[in-house]
Structure 1
Amino acid sequence: MLLTVSSLLDPAELADVTSALDGLEWKDGTATAGRSARSVKQNLQADLRGRAGQDLHEQILRKLTGHPVVQAAARPKKFSRLVISQTADGGHYGNHTDNAIMGKGTGRLRTDISFTLFLSPPDSYEGGELVVDLPGYTQTLKPDAGDLVLYPSSSIHQVAPVTSGIRLACVGWIESLVRDSFQREILFDLENLRAKMRGQYPQGSAELLTLDKSIANLMRVWAET
């Protein structure tokens, strides 16, 4: 499932994030690419190891983990460390597939879902679209600053060359409690139905209780804790 979550960061939060980036050091992005992706990656990444970088990392991660649509669509078990990239002057990230396993120790995770949080207004740079190959079609995305795109880590995807301006984005990966994408989509549909029904039926109604039970029981069957 490919999904755009609008305004994960509001304008004030976005301004705080982009302001914080001004004080960080930027390094060659190939250092974090897998072997096959290294040859097609040309960008810079913010060094988030200092206090300012850690604070920024935690600020964005709190927004991700606390967003109800992210929770409903991804059913997160673990989030990876975040990566903030800067792409300019013809930089790009050519066609690649994300590594199936990332991280070390307690941070080790299976990559089920990839995400890109766009930090630059789309009219401030040329090119730089996120291009995701899905069964039967290709999706090209360049949403507003503050928007988040969730997409399958199993897909072939790329960042098109940035021909002018600067593209800032935050990327990361999610290991889901529900490994199967088809099952996650069913649960997401049911969550959306439940949200709609809460405006139509009283709390404790037989309809809502039955739906609550069905969602909980599907999680019992499908979740990997």
Structure 2
Amino acid sequence: MSSNTTDFPQIGLFITCLVDLFRPNVGFAALELLERCGCHVKVPIKQTCCGQIAYNNGDINNSRLLAKQLINEFDSCDYIVAPSGSCIGMLKRHYPELFTHEPDWQAKAQNFADRCYELVSFLTQVQGMTQVNTRFEQRVTYHDSCSGLRELGIQMQPRQLLNSVSGLTLIEMKATQECCGFGGTFCVKYSPISARLLADKVAHIQATGAQVVLAGDMGCLLNIAGYLKRLASSIKVYHVAEVLAGRANISAIGE
């Protein structure tokens, strides 16, 4: 990691696969939020998948290869930030575990992990952001993703910033901390269980009377948006960064 000689931290923005392929607006929202709080942001061109899918399915060799590439690509950054709790959970919690038999790489992986943050937790806990100058006149509810909540302790951080959005009314759903049923390949391997979890989650969302559901992970958002669309629901789905950055002025996820 290079030594930062300015007052502004050098942030490596890790876009993630789902943002890149399905919702680039989330990446632009993340960039805008980081720049608002004085960060210098770079987006390494050669970044690829974090290897989470391979890791969760036991493909440790390819997980290590992807991890090494990502670690090298972000080596010059003071922090690595991503709009995804699940991807950062992989980088922060599991990268060091991949290299228990390679001490040099384990040290690199731990150094890398110590610099990794989910977007909203970085804004609030590292940069000290307490509010945003944004308006969003909607009733919203927030879904806590499993990885963000359980691996990273992300719960109050998004709510703190959402409560500063002008016109926004935050309504908590029942069992907000329960899984939406996505879980990466879990929804494929255990589809009946996944479908039941998703149906329960959407029922809780609908019961709030909210017009919009937000979360910090694209996997959860795509899963929830798909089910709401099949129900012909009018509830819109956005990544929390889109609302915080004032970029929820485009079609919602799944539309």
- After TM superposition, the score normalised by the length of structure 2 is 0.26
Higher helix share: 2
Higher relative contact order, chain-length normalized (CA < 8 Å, sep 6+): 1
Higher strand share: 1
